[in-house]
Every structure is written in C-alpha cells, then in structure tokens.
C-alpha cells in the first residue's frame, strides 16, 4: 500500500535558502539527519498507508477541497525545534505569512479525505530530525530567529507517495491540485 501525504512544493530559491539554514544545525553530520533538498516541502496532511481504492477517493475529494480555496501568499522565515529547545527532535523553519490560510487548507483537506491528523496542524518546514538514540543541541540554530527564506504564491498543492529506502524517503508526485481564484498581487 502506498504511503501518502499532501504538501506544497517550494520555489527553488527558497529551497536554496533552506539548505543554507541547514548548515546552522549543530551535529548535522552525525546526530541529525537533514532533509534532502529535493524533499523539502510544506506538509498539509500525512495520510499514511492507504489502499489504491481509498487513494482514488481521496484524490477526488482533494480536488473538491482545492476548488474551494483561492491562491494566497506564503512567506518562510524564523526557526524552531520540536518538542523543546532542551531536547530537540525536529529542526524546522517557520511560516511568517500565510499560516492561517495553510491551517484552513489543511483542515479542509483533512475533512475532505477523512483523515484526522495525530497532532494539531502547525505550519512549518522540517529541515532535519535527530537520529534514533542520539542527542542534539538546538544552541546556535535558534539564534537564526531572523532567518528569511523568501515569499511565494501558494496556487497549488500535491498528493505525494513516500517510498522508504535505506537511503531515506523518495517522494513521487501522484497528482497536482490547482487552487481556485486569482493569484494575489505582490
């Protein structure tokens, strides 16, 4: 069964800036597994393993959800860690603008496809995860609070399949969903 999630892709310039930010994560080579540049994305909803039949229904429902949303602006900036600075497990970049729209889109998508997420939606981009059995310091990374990766128009999202390999996950785009409405003026 495919492992499925829905996400926004990012412009190349923003990915470039996020890769530079990843260099600020302490112990990135040993304790922290960085997300590969090509896998950087903004998750809207993780669905887990679904049957092919369920996936087809989810794709139809996701299309309806996409049509109900207009395009909006997203800016990526700021940093943080989950669950706490004293014991980071995930290093992330934040969303400065567009977080409310992302939250509404994620909730609408969740309702449409019938998947209730395990945790409340918190818009962010995962940059790295602390490896099992390892410890890392959030130290100098949290000093990057003024970090700004860029701004873009969210005019579509994707359904992706995640295939786990010994080298890390491989993401394959299953379908693209265009949002309705006009692109906002910059």
Contact 90, 84 (CB under 8 A): no
As annotated, the active-site residues are 41, 124
CA-based nearest residue to 156, from 105, 94, 115: 105
CA-based nearest residue to 6, from 158, 123, 177: 158
Contact 178, 156 (CB under 8 A): yes
Contact 92, 42 (CB under 8 A): no
- Rounded CA separation 155/34 (Å): 27
- Rounded CA separation 38/168 (Å): 12
Angle between helices 99-113 and 52-67 (to 10 degrees): 140
Give, for 111, the enclosing helix (H) or strand (E). helix 99-113
CA-based nearest residue to 81, from 144, 132, 9, 30: 144
């Amino acid at each position: 069964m495919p492992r499925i999630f829905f996400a926004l892709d990012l412009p190349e310039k923003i990915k470039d800036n996020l890769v530079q930010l990843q260099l600020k994560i302490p112990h990135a080579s040993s304790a922290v597994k960085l997300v590969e540049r090509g896998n950087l994305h903004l998750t809207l909803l993780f669905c887990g393993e679904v049957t092919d039949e369920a996936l087809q229904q989810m794709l139809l429902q996701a299309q309806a959800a996409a049509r109900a949303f207009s395009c909006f602006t997203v800016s990526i900036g700021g940093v943080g860690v989950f669950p706490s600075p004293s014991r980071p497990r995930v290093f992330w970049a934040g969303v400065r603008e567009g977080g409310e729209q992302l939250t509404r889109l994620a909730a609408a998508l969740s309702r449409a496809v019938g998947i209730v997420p395990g945790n409340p939606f918190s818009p962010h981009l995962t940059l790295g995860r602390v490896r099992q059995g390892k410890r890392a310091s959030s130290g100098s990374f949290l000093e990057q609070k003024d970090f700004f990766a860029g701004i873009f128009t969210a005019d579509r999202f994707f359904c992706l399949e995640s295939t786990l390999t010994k080298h890390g996950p491989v993401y394959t785009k299953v379908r693209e969903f265009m949002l309705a409405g006009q692109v906002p003026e910059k």
